[in-house]
Amino acid sequence: MIDRKKAWAALAPHITDEIVVATYSSATDWLATVDRPLNYFAFGAMGLASSHALGLALARPDKRVIVLDGDGSLLMNLGTLVTIGAVAPKNFTHIVAHNGSYEANGGHPIPNKQTDFAGVARSSGIAKAQRIETLAGFEAAIPSLLKDEGPLFVDLIVEQGELGPRSYKDMYSRVRRQAFREALKAG
């Protein structure tokens, strides 16, 4: 299993002008790794990060959109995979941190920790779906995840992170949203 913070630290140096959409635990770890205007945090929208990202990918086909999701979050809106598979945005990469829990809500287990999310993604029409279980495997996949034609999906097997209260106030601030809008306008 992979430490999610180490995975995001491995991804960060490769990020340039991509839009990164993150939610809950993935978002707090991503923000602690790299704070940048093109980070979009799915506020109060458990399960909707991939839907928000799909809208951004369709609106901005000139930019790669990367979703940093969680397994519990994805389960809240599993139907999004069917829509992504049908629309097939070429600039879309969906990475699901799979730790078998609703981590942001106290670490309660998801109904089936063994769910094959890559298999579900493939069955939903996302042909380029894979499961990655090691940090070295993730590091090796990063270049293709940022350059290959999408949609791309990764079921990233991670350890459960910290439980407990998290402060989302800054993450969802008006100032951060405005910086995101300005970064999009700038190109």
How confident is the model at residue 89, as a pLDDT?
98
Chain CA centroid to CA 34, Å? 14
The single-letter DSSP state of residue 110 is P
- Kindly write down the DSSP assignment for every residue of 80-101, as one continuous string: HHHHHHHH--TTEEEEEEE-SE
Print burial letters for 103-126: b (CB count within 10 Å at least 16), e (below 16): bbeebeebeeeebebbebbbebbb
Domain regions of the chain by residue span: 4-48+61-131+140-152+159-186
- pLDDT at residue 138 in the model: 98
Q: What's the number of CA atoms in the CB half-sphere (13 Å) around residue 38?
A: 20
Per-residue pLDDT of the chain (187 residues; tens, 9 = 90+): 899 999 999 999 999 999 999 988 899 899 999 999 999 997 677 789 999 999 999 999 999 999 999 999 999 999 999 999 999 999 999 999 999 877 776 667 778 788 999 999 999 999 999 999 999 999 999 999 999 999 999 999 999 887 656 677 888 889 999 999 999 999 7
What does the chain come to in residues? 187
Task: Report residue 96: phi and psi, to 5°.
Answer: -105, 115
pLDDT at 118: 98
Tell me which DSSP letter residue 105 carries: G
In whole angstroms, what is the distance from residue 27 CA to residue 33 CA?
A: 10
Whole-prediction pTM? 0.94
Check: CB of residue 50 under 8 Å from CB of residue 80: yes
What CATH class has 4-48+61-131+140-152+159-186?
Answer: alpha beta
